[in-house]
Structure 1
Amino acid sequence: MDNVKGRLIALGGGDDDGLIKLIKSEICGIQSHIEVIATATPQALDAVDSGNAYKEAFEELGCENVRFMRIDEEHEADTSENITRIGKADVIFFTGGDQLRLAHFLQGTKLLELMHRRYLEEDIIISGTSAGAAVMSDRMIYNGYGHYSLIRGEMKTAHGFGFIKKVYIDSHFAERGRFGRLAHAVAHDPDYIGIGLSEETGVIITEGNQVEVFGTGVVTIIDASDVRFSNTRQVEESEPIAVENLKMHLLVNGYRYCLKEHLFQPIPQENRKAEA
């Protein structure tokens, strides 16, 4: 995706005050339109509560045009009102929950197609926390726990929203022991790069390529481009995997990773965008 004009802002879960403040500082204007989508929350009443809570959090910072968009079993995505609202949005924010629900209700819709077009062509922010972060790429991990995730068949992936390609984004990374499943995913698909987000820590992805960290924690980058051996496609179901020469980088605020170049580098002080 060359010449992408939009930005992705993804948080690994946990306390999201830093993400909300970052979005506010990035849009720089109380008149900016923010759309909150809580479809990932399984229960309807919980989704309403979650959507309204985020709406109020943005409003407490002075944002005046924040709306909660319901998309679920009883509220379809492709209404004329939703299309109009997404057409005006400066920020789209996906809450946490179940990323499979987000994919189920939004994939194949005109609404998601509009989000894609605007992300490619305009300076719009697509943001999310937890499940709302995991769904951003063309593929997402939705299963795999602890050491079991290093057994063939235990780590599972599905199609995501595709704002960015050839990336796996995993949330609650350190806190829920998800190194194994992200390593398994990129070893199985070595043209993908894994981005593991700790809680209260996230990334800003610009131009579909440059990954910068915000927050106080660590972002883990897993790169399988130089793997010399992997048995992930040959080993029998329920057997552990073996991988040689899988690379890992630990990224913190003040550093960035360029996905296309596989490059880890410090950010010049005058160019830093992502503050803790």
Structure 2
Amino acid sequence: MEEVKGKLIALGGGDDDGLIKLIHSKICSLTSYIEVIATAATEAEESGQAYKAAFEELGCHNVRFMRIDEEHSADTADNLNRIKKANVIFFTGGDQVRLADFLNGTKLLDILRRRYIEEEVIIAGTSAGAAIMSDKMIYDGYGHYSLIKGEMKTTTGCSFIKKVFIDTHFAERGRFGRLAHAVAHDPDYIGIGLSEETGIVIKKGNQVEVFGPGVVTIIDASQVAFSNVRAAAENEPIAVENLKMHLLVNGYRYCLKEHLFQPIVTFGTLIPVENAAVLATEKHPAANGTAKAN
């Protein structure tokens, strides 16, 4: 399988100064091209121009706001030319279903997906802009009601990465239940819950690393022994045995394909992914961080 060259940077919402500065630090040159897409926002023009100004304040010279909505098609010749040369594509927060609806099925999104695989491009987003990054996304489910069959809903995302659910405002809005429900329903997916002001960088389409002061929650249903999620009737609560959870903070990463939690650095040395399983058990016996939900 071809190695992914691009990076995904996703923030859980809230204050995004740290995200803007991180993106800036990842750019090789202040002349790099940045495209801001604010389709998800209620006031798209205002939001797009605000993010444009935020990047420009850091010295970035080639920042543009790309208008995509009911009156502005994604697939204009100008948009396609701009997206082909953009070094960073930034998606604002708002309504993730609206954002995905306007992008899915477009040539613009096809170009972005190809470039993410083949080129060292950065695709970044906050809140809704983070939630759309996978092939499936959660768009409904509130508090304890999300553990009732039919209350948690998913739809198609933009498919930069597959087999993950990215949920935002995770701790602040009590979204553990809906993310747990989603991965229990689709156990080949990994759930990633992002707290506000905290986010992830996904490298090589596999390595999830944390930035920011908070906690990223990983929920893994690959070892579930029993679940009634598919058999339960509508409006009945779900039951799941042996759901695994990890709490990830800055300095640690999670490898999606290997289902592996690991410290990034030990004794000043970066741990290669292939050596991580041995080191994680020998030097960090608590690193598995598992919890069962019965």
User: What is the TM-score with the length of structure 1 in the denominator?
Assistant: 0.96
- Give the match for residue 3 of structure 2: 3
Show CA shifts across 1:64-101 (max 9, x none).
00000000000000000000000010000000000001
Measured after TM superposition, the shift of residue 271 of structure 1 is 4.5
In 2, Cα distance between equivalents of 1:211 and 1:105: 27
Q: Does the CA-based 8 Å contact 1:2-1:208 persist in structure 2?
A: no
Q: Does the CA-based 8 Å contact 1:198-1:217 persist in structure 2?
A: yes
In 1, Cα distance between equivalents of 2:100 and 2:168: 16
- Give the match for residue 255 of structure 2: 258
- Give the match for residue 19 of structure 1: 19
In 2, Cα distance between equivalents of 1:257 and 1:2: 20
CA distance 1:260–1:2, change in 2 (3 Å): farther
- Give the match for residue 139 of structure 1: 136
In 2, Cα distance between equivalents of 1:151 and 1:267: 37
- Give the match for residue 57 of structure 1: 54
Larger Rg: 2
The alignment status of 1:124 with 2:121, answered yes or no, reads yes
AA aligned opposite 2:199: G
**SS state at 1:21 partner:** helix
Number of corresponding residues: 269
- Give the match for residue 241 of structure 1: 238
Measured after TM superposition, the shift of residue 41 of structure 1 is 1.1
The one of the two structures with greater contact order (alpha-carbon pairs below 8 A, sep at least 6) is 1
Measured after TM superposition, the shift of residue 2 of structure 1 is 4.0
1:99-178 alignment to 2 at 5 Å? 99-178=96-175
In 2, Cα distance between equivalents of 1:206 and 1:134: 17
CA distance 1:29–1:271, change in 2 (3 Å): farther
In 1, Cα distance between equivalents of 2:251 and 2:191: 19
Of 74, 77, 80, the match for 1:77: 74
Unaligned runs of 5+ in 1: none
In 2, Cα distance between equivalents of 1:52 and 1:79: 20
- Give the match for residue 231 of structure 1: 228
Show CA shifts across 1:156-208 (max 9, x none).
00000000000000000000000000000000000000000000000000110
Measured after TM superposition, the shift of residue 29 of structure 1 is 1.4
Query: Matched residues, percent identical?
Result: 77
AA aligned opposite 1:22: L
AA aligned opposite 2:31: Q
- Give the match for residue 93 of structure 1: 90
Measured after TM superposition, the shift of residue 270 of structure 1 is 5.3
In 2, Cα distance between equivalents of 1:187 and 1:19: 30
- Give the match for residue 218 of structure 1: 215
Q: What value does the CA root-mean-square deviation take over the aligned residues?
A: 1.0
Q: Does the CA-based 8 Å contact 1:232-1:242 persist in structure 2?
A: yes
